[in-house]
Structure formats: C-alpha cells, structure tokens
Amino acid sequence: MKITYLLPNIETGGTERQVLALARLLDRRRYSPSLVTTAGGGALHAEFSGLMPVTVFGDPVRANRTRTSLWAHAATVRRLAGIFRAERPDILHAFLPSSNVLGPVAARLAGVRRVIVSKRSLAGYKNRFPLLRRMEPLGNRLADVILVNSDAVGREVERTERFWEGKVRKIYNGVAVPDPWTPEEAGRFRVREGIAPGSRVVLCVANFFPYKGHVDLVEAARRVVAVAPEAVFLLVGRDAGAMEECRARVREIGIDGRVRFLGGRSDVADLLRASDLFVHPSHQEGFPNAVLEAMAAGRAVVATDVGGTPEAVENGETGVLVPARDPAALAGALVALLSDPGRARRMGEAGRRRVLERHAIGRMVAEYEGLYESLSGGERPR
C-alpha cells in the first residue's frame, strides 16, 4: 500500500517528529511511504530522506508572504496534483492546517482513492488565517477520515468546523521510552553540559512560539530561584518569534545565570534523563509530545491545564497541572516538587508507567496501520 504524507515543511517540531517516528516503524512489507512538502525542506530532511522518497518544493519565506493569495494556493494544488498523478498513492495522509486543505483538493483532482486529514491543535490559529478558516471545511468534506490526536482536538473540530460528521477518529501521539540512566550517567552528562554540581535542573522543550508561554516561564523562574537558588532552567527549542523577548526579560530581571537557552537539540532524551523536573507552560495544546517524552523519561511534569494536556498528565499522580498565564501558580508547583524530590520521583515513575501502558510508539504505529487497513477495504472506517 502506497502512503504519501503531506506536510508544509520538515523543520523540527512535534508533528514532524511524529510523522518521522511513524514512517520509521511502518511495516515495509505492507506499506511504501513517501513524503511531499509544499513550503521547503527543513532540519529533518536528511532523516526523512533516509527512510523514504522525499519531494520538496516551495520555500517558507514565500509561503508566508503569500499565505492569503488564492493564486499561490492554486499553483500549489496544481503542482501537488501532478506529483500525486505520478506517484499514484493509495492514501494521502495530510498533516497541519494548510496541507489539510490543499492536499485533499489536489488528491481528488489526481484520483487518489483515500484521504486522511490530521488535526493536531486547538483552533486559536484560525484567527490569524481567515482564508484558511473559511477553506478548512472543504478539506474535511473531501477527506475520508479526520484524524485527531486528543479528545480536546476532536471537540475543537466539532465546535469550529463543518463536514466532520461520521469521519472523526482519534489516535493519541506515541513516543519511545528510553532506558533510565544511573545517577553516574546523569552526572557525567551534566558535567559535559557545564551544569554546576548540586543544581536542580528544570527542563522546558518547546519551540519559541508566543503561545508556548515562555515569557510566563521566565517570570515563574524569577520566583523559583528566589527561594531555590540551586534551580537551573534549560530552555530547548528554535526561535519562532518569542525567543528574543524571553532573553531580554531574563537579562532585565537578572537571572541570566539561572536560565540557559540551548536552541534546537537532537539529544532531548539525554537532557530529560539528566533533569529533575519538566515544565510545559503553554497557553494552548492539542496533545503535547514534549510532555509525553518527559513522562517516558520518568520525569514529573508541571504543565498548564489546557487542551489535551490533561489527557496526558494525571494531576497529582504523574505531575501537577496549573492554570495557563499564571506565573505564580507555575512557580508554586515547581518549588513544591523541587522541595520534595521523593514526590517528584514517584510522579516520574507513574508517568513512565502511563506512557508504557497508553502512549508507547509501537501502540501508536499499530493504530495507524489499522486505520490504513480499514481504508484499503474500500469502506470508510467506522
């Protein structure tokens, strides 16, 4: 069965990494995957290319500049339809909002038999893209399946979009579960990272989009280090518009030595195993991969109670949920766990068990394969 995945680009992000993990583990005796991007390549190009044929066209600068142009979208549809006619996939599987519109239109023009659109975030982005907001129902109408990664996202689709009736299916994100480190292994990694002995490491992994709440985290860090001066905050992620504001605020309040900006990293699993706590201050989430990865690494999580995050974090058992946009509550939860390492350790162990039971990558891939098989029989899946 030929599966073509469609993404805007393949920069390092949660959705892109989920597609990469899925493609890596698909049974090649049954499936032949390929990838098409419409707005350039990205940092994950080499990894994707090592797994499957990759077709890249467009560039992110032009795509952003012409995001409201019907002519530009029409040209993309024509290009995609030509690619699909040549590749003749059995299933087109689109991810992220623009692909969820352009992909189904091109697929139907090219005669692709089955189409899946994947919704992975809440509806806040629609306010910035009025044309996309009007066109998304067209993608739903042309799709056979509308795939969501949490109940929260499913509710958003039902609340804000049309033509979803009878098509919505849910598959939770899945992550790999790394082997735990000994204290000696964690210590050696900390030495390599220049982390002072005795530090309590709080890790945040999120690209610096404004809605990810990094500014709130900086304000919370100011409160935390005032009572727990051994705390060190490591912020991992590429700049997506909010990093400089965070850097400036860190300098302004004088906690430069306690907050480090690490940029994009390929060793997040190691950083997690070397940390004490994980924090996720986002204002909105569909279903956060970073939180799952922290739980898989056995780390207690302090996260905002938004979107699908409560479907991952069991408040009081695997972590602590706090209101969004509330640095004081965020700081309070972090201080409470930093001052009670035993409780944090128990939460981390419970989180690891929860991922093994509900969110392991193998389970996710098996559910995707089951979805593809249900489509291959010619009937829409029930």
CB atoms within 10 A of CB 117: 29
257 conformational bin, left if phi > 0, alpha if psi -120 to 50, beta if neither: alpha
DSSP-derived letter for residue 90 is: S
Q: What are the domain boundaries of the chain?
A: 2-174+361-376, 183-359
Class of domain 183-359: alpha beta
Predicted model pTM: 0.91
Compute mean pLDDT per 10 residues along the chain, 382 residues long, and list them. 97 92 96 96 95 89 58 91 98 96 97 97 80 88 98 95 95 96 95 95 96 97 97 96 96 95 95 98 96 98 97 98 98 98 98 97 97 79 46
In the chain, what are the helix, strand and coil shares in percent, each to the nearest 5? Answer: 50, 20, 30
- What is the structure's pLDDT at 126? 78
DSSP 341: H
pLDDT (0 to 100) of residue 64: 57
**Candidate CATH numbers 3.30.390.50, 3.40.50.11540, 3.40.50.2000, 3.30.2350.10; the one for domain 2-174+361-376:** 3.40.50.2000
**Residue 203 · residue 297 · CB < 8 Å:** no
Contacts for 156-161: CB closer than 8 Å, 24+ residues apart: 156/119, 156/122, 156/123, 157/119, 159/123, 160/123, 160/126, 161/136, 161/137
Q: Identical fold at 2-174+361-376 and 183-359?
A: yes
Instruction: State the residue for tokens 């972090």.
Output: 334
- Alpha-carbon separation of residue 362 from 6, 13, 172, 332, 372 (angstroms): 22, 20, 12, 36, 15
What does the alpha-carbon distance between residue 48 and residue 23 come to, in Å, rounded to a whole number? 8
Q: In the block, which residue shows the tokens 């004490």?
A: 276
Residues 277, 292: Cα–Cα separation, whole Å: 13
Residue 13: per-residue pLDDT: 87
Q: Which burial class, exposed, middle or buried, applies to 227 when counting CB atoms under 10 A from its CB (0-12, 13-18, 19+)?
A: exposed
- Give the distance, in angstroms, between the CA of residue 104 and the centroid of all CA atoms in the same chain: 22
User: Are 152 and 173 within 8 A, CB to CB?
Assistant: no
Query: How many other CB atoms sit within 10 Å of the CB of residue 1?
Result: 17
